[in-house]
Structure 1
C-alpha cells in the first residue's frame, strides 16, 4: 500500500505514528504545506484504508486510530536499528516475550537494508547481555505493560485490582504517569485518585487493568523524573533488617560497590560517606557489605537480629579461605591439576 503514497504523504503517515494527536496546523508546519493540503492528504490516507480520525478544535486535529489491520510502520534508520537491537536482547522482566520478540525480529530484519543489518549485527556482537542470577524475579505481562504504557502516553485514567505485599487485594483507580523497569521488576508510577496521593505499583501484582476513556491533565511529579521517584520510594521503604555505617570512601564509590540506591548513600566529604541499608532478607545486606571497608566500630549501627546472619556469612567465607590455604594433594608441584586446567 505504501508504494502508492507520494513522499509527502509517507512523511505525514510517519508523523501520525509518532504522537497520539496532531493539530492540522502542526502537521502543515512540519511538512511545509497549507492546511488545505493536509486535509486532502488525510482524505487520501482514509481512502487507502488508513484509520485517521478527526478531532474537534480551531484548526482541527488528527490521530491514527486502531484499525482492523496493522498499518505499515515507517521508521527512520536509527529507530529501525534501536528496535532490532531491543528485540534481539528481548525485555528483561517481561513474561513470555522471547518467542514473540524472535518472530517480530524475523519480520523486521527481512525488510532492513543491508547497511542497517550490519549495524544491528555489530551492536549485538559487542553488547551482548549477560544472564545473571540476581536479574531473575517476577515478570510482567506484556499486554498489561502495553495497556499501561498507552495510558501513560494519553494521560488516561485506568482501573485495576492490586495485591499488596501483605497479600491484601483491592480495587485501584489511578492517573498513570510512567513505567519504570528496576531490573527485573516493573513499576507503575501513578496518582491514586481514591487516596489523593502519588503511589508506586508493582506491575506483576496488578491484574485486570482497564482504561476508562477519561483523560486528565498530567500532574507534576514530586521528583525530578519517574526513575528518581521510584529510587526514593524504594530507599524509604521499611524493611526487617537495617544497617548504618560510616564508610571511608566517596559516595559514588560506595554506591557502585554496594549496588545501593542513591537514597541509601550520603556524602560526608570527598572521602567519607554514610551508608544506610535495609532489606527483608539479611543475605542481601551481607552481600552488599562485601565490597567495602567500614569505618570505626562506633559508627556502625543496625538491627541486632542482623548480627548472627552476618556472622554466619563471614564463617562461610572464612571456611572457604582456610580450604584454599591447605596443601592440595591433587595438585602437582607447578600448580597444575591433573586435567591441565592450570594452562587456562
Structure 2
C-alpha cells in the first residue's frame, strides 16, 4: 500500500500568531488551560488564527478476531455482530453521544464473522469473516492487511468535515491491541494487557501469557506493517489507513481509547508527523492505555474512567474542541474590550 506523506504542522510564524491571539484574550495567560492548548493545536492543523469545527464525524470499525480461540475474552464472539446490530438500531452508547453532540456516525463492517446482508447505514468493507488466530499464525495475509488499510483510506474521501473520531467494536481486540503495543514498544506484556471486557485476575494472567507467547513466536515480525499484519484486526488495519488518509487531508484526528491508540502507534511509526493532528480524547481505564499514551507523548483531555470503546470518549470531547475554537474566534481581546492586561505596579 502507498503510505501518504504527512506534513508536520510546524510553522513558526503561524505558531507565534496563534500564541499572540490566545494570550491577547481577556484572561490571564494560560488560565484556560487545556482549551488554550487545543485552540493552538487546531489552529496549527488548519493554519489559521480563526479555526473552526466543521461537520464532525466518527467512524466505528467492527471486526472479529481469531485469537478468541485462546479464551481471552469474557464475552463470546457473537457479541461483535450483536453490537453492530445495536449500532444500526441507534441504541448503543456511541449512538446516544453522537446524537447529543451533532456528530455524524458511520458504521463499517471491516471483518465481522456474520452476514448482515445489504443493510441501510452499514458500510460493507468486509475483508474476511474475522482474522486468524495469531497465537499460531499471522492474523492476516499481507494482501488482506493492505486491502483493509486501503478500504480505510478510501472511506475518508467521503467524509465532508474537518474533525474525525475513530471507534471500534470487536471481541478480542484488546488482546490484539496489547500484542501490537508489546511488539512495537518492547514494554513487558504485563504492562500492555488489561481486563478488556471484564476478565478476572486469572483471566488477565492467561491473556498476558497468550500475548507474550504470541509475540515471542512471531519474533521476526518487527516492522510496523509486519506487526499490524501479524497481530492486528481488520478493523485496526482499516483505522490505520483511515488515520493516515485523514491526516494527509489535514483533518483533526480525535483518538479514543486503547484499541484506537494502538492503531495510532502503528500509524505514527509509519508517519511520525501524524501526531501533530491528534487530539487524545481521554485516558482509558484499560490497563495499558496510560503507558501507550506516554509512548506517544499524548496528553489526554479527559480522565473519566472510561473503557467502553466504540469511540465514546472521542465524541464526549467534542464540546471541548468547540469551546477551544469559539473562545479563540469570539472572545474579546484586551484592546477591543478596553481592559488593561498589565498591572499598575
Q: What TM-score bracket applies, with the shorter chain setting the length?
A: under 0.3
Larger Rg: 1
| TM-score, scaled relative to structure 2 | 0.21
Higher relative contact order (CA 8 A, sep 6+): 2
| TM-score, scaled relative to structure 1 | 0.21
Select the structure that is richer in helix: 2
